[in-house]
Amino acid sequence: MKTENVHGSKPSGHNVVETIDSTDGASQNSPGMPPYRRGIHPGMYRDRLWTMRQYAGFSSPSNTNKRFKRLLDSGQTGISIAFDLPTQLGLDSDDDISSGEVGKVGVSIDSIHDMRELFSGIDMGSISTSMTINAPATTLLALYVAVAEEQGISIDQLSGTVQNDILKEYISRGLYIFPPEPSIRLTTDLMSWCNRNAPRWNTISISGYHMREAGCTASQEIALTLANAIFYSRKAIESGMKIDDFAPRMSFFFACHNDFIEEICKFRAARQLWYELVEEEFSPTNPRSSQLRFHTQTSGVTLTAQQPKNNAIRVAYQALSAVLGGTQSLHTNSFDEALGLPTEDSARLALRTQQIIAEELGITGHVDPLGGSSTVEENTDDLIHQARSIIRDIEEMGGAMECVKAGFQQRIIHESAWEHLRSVEDKSELVVGVNSHVDETEPVFEGLILDSSEANSKISRLIEMKANRNIESVNESLSELRQCCRNGSNVMPPIISAVKAEATVGEVNSVLREEFGTWVAPSGV
């Protein structure tokens, strides 16, 4: 097992007995008790199974709707929406910049008509929905709210989350639009609006996943994620909220990679460290404010195009790590995702992987079954120690945002990614099918092939919608949004009004671009 600090060296171990004995009584080492090392609920999966939330989105809203329904019919218990690149960047399908990308890596959403089609026949009041959206998170939540109201569902009954984590976009993913300060305003505006109107909605999902996928280590994933969460918490408090107003509705998102034991320890370490950090700085009165609740996705970067069926095995063990680590929801990647979007058969197999773990292995009857193992406890302590050290460095540099501006996190990720690449190339780290047990005669495997005519049809429908709507109502609503940007009031109400008037994602975010500007983050190189 590889347990590395930020500089790549193996840390010294810590005595697990000292960790256990340092707590205030044996009860604090029980599941459901602070510091939540062993899980946030006393009974964990005995009482409530994790949410099986398969990530899906491609082509048109109608095709994605069909995929959602098939997955729900197959036993999926939550929806997770993948959006295409234009939507993630706040662009309409008919924008010149969107050419060639409409519906390619996720579903294309331009207007209320698309969101309505996406959830046709799906009761939005009875399903939890996750939307992987960041820069235009306010717009996509507004569309979701508008369609839910059309279904007769009260806003306060909606459950789910928007990712709404812009820092990791600056750090590792690059799908940001606005400069840091207005981006954080949009984040806190959404958090504040949900606190008042949508109390069951998770207002932000702080993502370590994308930073891990970009190349950072397990300890770095913990540290960078929690440092970002501390920054968001401080900004939310600066905006007028109290820690107990928003922290119980904060969620986290982690990757799960191949090192089976390390990944289990990572989740346990993140829970304990988050509890300690929140208690140290914010002193909440609601116990849920310091409980780390998280979604896990199995690792995309560990999937190989070579011998792709091997990926099904990797995914199964990664999913098992996440469950043994105490995840609250889980997405299992399809084995063919290194080649393209998952086929219907591979998506079903990925869901069945979760269901076999839940229903056949017997582990859901045990809470933190590996707790007490010297290997697990010592490595959990090691990861806490390493992550604290990195967070301390970030704080000394002025916090997460200042480090982003200096390229600190970006540099850490680049260095770790390079070390991993070298280890694969020199075979000190083996990858079956890539540098070990290579089969030059393996047959060519084809993934899902999208119908390009879907994009053209979508663009045509959008152009027709724009030509037939009440443009005066659209312009009036966008003018109200522009005024809101200037006077500092919350952007959510005018955005909701705008999308109800048939303003598009591109038009709403064009106003925001004009008012807030754009920005290029440092690469860290």
Instruction: Over range 285-298, report the average pLDDT.
Output: 98
List, in order of start, the domains of the chain with CATH numbers. Answer: 16-50+126-425 (3.20.20.240), 465-516 (no CATH)
Residue 107, token pair as written in the block? 């579903």
Answer whether 478's CB lies under 8 Å from 511's CB: yes
221-261 pLDDT, tens digit each: 999 999 999 999 999 999 999 999 999 999 999 999 999 99
pLDDT at 27: 56
Residue 53, token pair as written in the block? 């939330």
76-91 pLDDT, tens digit each: 999 999 999 999 999 9
CA–CA gap between residue 104 and residue 60 (Å, rounded): 9
H helices of 239-329, in order, are 243-246, 260-282, 310-324
pLDDT above 50: residue 13: no
At residue 5 the predicted structure's pLDDT band, cuts being 50, 70 and 90, is: very low
Beta strands at 329-331 and 294-298: parallel, antiparallel or unpaired: parallel
pLDDT at 24: 43
Enter the pTM of the model.
0.92
486-522 pLDDT, tens digit each: 999 999 999 999 999 999 999 999 999 999 999 998 8
152-162 pLDDT, tens digit each: 999 999 999 99
Angle CA 164–235–248, to nearest 5: 65
Long-range contact pairs involving 110-113 (C-beta distance under 8 Å, separation at least 24): 110/458, 110/462, 110/504, 110/505, 110/506, 111/143, 111/462, 111/465, 111/499, 111/502, 111/503, 111/504, 111/505, 112/143, 112/146, 112/147, 112/499, 112/500, 112/502, 113/461, 113/465, 113/502
One-letter amino acid identity for 350?
A
Answer whether 348's CB lies under 8 Å from 455's CB: no
Kind and range of the H or E run holding 468: helix 453-468
336-387 pLDDT, tens digit each: 999 999 999 999 999 999 999 999 999 999 999 999 999 999 999 999 999 9
H helices of 287-343, in order, are 310-324
